[in-house]
Amino acid sequence: MAEQQDVISLSLDELYSLVRKALMHHGVSDRHADAIARVITQGERDECHSHGIYRLLGCVRSVQSGKVDPRAEPTVRDVAPGVLAVDAHHGFSLLAFEMGLPMLAEKARSQGLAAMAINRCFHFSALWPEVEAIAAQGLVGLAMNPSHSWVAPAGGTRGVFGTNPIAFAWPRAAGHPFVFDFATSAIARGDIELHAREGRPIPPHWAIGPDGRPTTDARAALEGAMQTFGGHKGSALAAMVELLAGALIGDLTSMESQAFDDGAGASPCHGELVIAIDPQRFLGGGYAAGQARAEGLFAAVVEQGARLPSQRRFEARARSMRDGVRISAALYRDVLELFDT
């Protein structure tokens, strides 16, 4: 650890230990603390600051709210040949994902594709660590979840949808998978929170204020509603996420999740849908040709100077694995204060 110009440098191991200890200090079980510290470290490592150590604060706030069971043991249920469900029993989502992943992979390999519902989980993380974990098994991953009803439908004025991220990963024989993970809102909620925290204005297409009109004030945006990306198309995708990762899996929509929170300010409690697809099962003897075809696509993007999604993140990862991470001294102090309560 080193302090310089209001910035603290930490190795990835130091960061992981700090997060893990802070969680256990607040009564989180060691299995949950492991799973959460791993993902928060991955977020900071990849310079996804809104999903890095900043999220630890919200995580602890969720525990303090009394809504989350920080020691809940997830249970896995075999629903159908292509479907499993993991009940998180109102614990955090990440351990539930880890516990369901082996059966999801097994089902995908035997059926060609399979779906995993994670139910009754508190969710605060990005989805790319999960689809990357699926791709690490040679499978295609797709994941989505609702959140709180912060986002207005296209043409509307009030929040109905969550930020409703969709993440996808395609495994590649060499190097990192092709991965994207984006909110169907114009921007991630965490980014508006960071702008509000730092008193910075936001672009007008991110959100509407409590009066239903576009605003550049991050605090007004947090009280109003966010907009979807891409107009009616993003709005349609946001609705799909509510249906597939809410109604289909017997879990809360973003409106219901927000009502469940009842002003406690915890991480949203809802479900998550994860789909895994086995390209070996689809392609059989044509597997290598299918992989080569995908590589041809990626090359055609990169060769014209465009970026693949996650490229910046993988570059940040390489830097952080070499040099560790740097976080603001103010945020670091906030984290240390977690040990005082």
Q: How far apart are CA 96 and CA 37, in angstroms?
A: 14
Q: How far is the CB of 336 from a copy of itself (least distance, A)?
A: 36
Q: How far apart are CA 180 and CA 285, in angstroms?
A: 28
Residue 323 tokens, joined: 């040099």
Of 226, 237, 250, 97, nearest to 166 by C-alpha is 237
Of 47, 117, 83, 169, nearest to 274 by C-alpha is 117
Q: Specify the stretch interacting with a copy of itself by CB under 8 A; choose among 38-46, 88-96, 299-307, 329-337.
A: 299-307
Q: What is the DSSP string of 287-321?
A: HHHHHHHHHHHHHHHHTTTPPPTTHHHHHHHHHHH
Nearer to a copy of itself, 298 or 339 (CB): 298
Please, which of residues 21-40 interact with a copy of itself by CB under 8 A?
Answer: none
The set of catalytic residues is 50-51, 191
Considering only 60, 86, 160, 331, the residue that binds a copy of itself (CB under 8 A) is 160
| Three-state DSSP class for residue 9 | strand
Please, which of residues 112-131 interact with a copy of itself by CB under 8 A?
Answer: 112-115, 117
204 belongs to the binding site for a copy of itself (CB under 8 A): no
296 belongs to the binding site for a copy of itself (CB under 8 A): yes
Nearer to a copy of itself, 204 or 231 (CB): 231
By rule CB under 8 A, what string of x and - marks binding of each residue 174-203 to a copy of itself?
----x-x-x---------------------
Considering only 57, 196, 283, 316, the residue that binds a copy of itself (CB under 8 A) is 283
Of 99, 104, 113, nearest to 84 by C-alpha is 104
Residue 241 tokens, joined: 């996420």
β-bridge mates for residue 277, sequence order:
113, 140
Q: What is the DSSP string of 148-207?
A: -S-BPPTT-SS--B---EEEEEE--SSSSPEEEEEESBSS-HHHHHHHHHHT----TTSE
By rule CB under 8 A, what string of x and - marks binding of each residue 217-246 to a copy of itself?
------------xxxxxxxx--xx-xxx-x
Q: How far is the CB of 82 from a copy of itself (least distance, A)?
A: 4
329 belongs to the binding site for a copy of itself (CB under 8 A): no
- Strands 83-87 and 113-122, by their bridges, are parallel
Please, which of residues 93-112 interact with a copy of itself by CB under 8 A?
Answer: 110-112
Q: State the residues that interact with a copy of itself by CB under 8 A.
A: 79-83, 110-115, 117, 140, 152-158, 160, 168, 170, 178, 180, 182, 229-236, 239-240, 242-244, 246-250, 253, 255-256, 275, 277, 279, 281-284, 286, 289-291, 293-294, 296-297, 300-301, 304-309
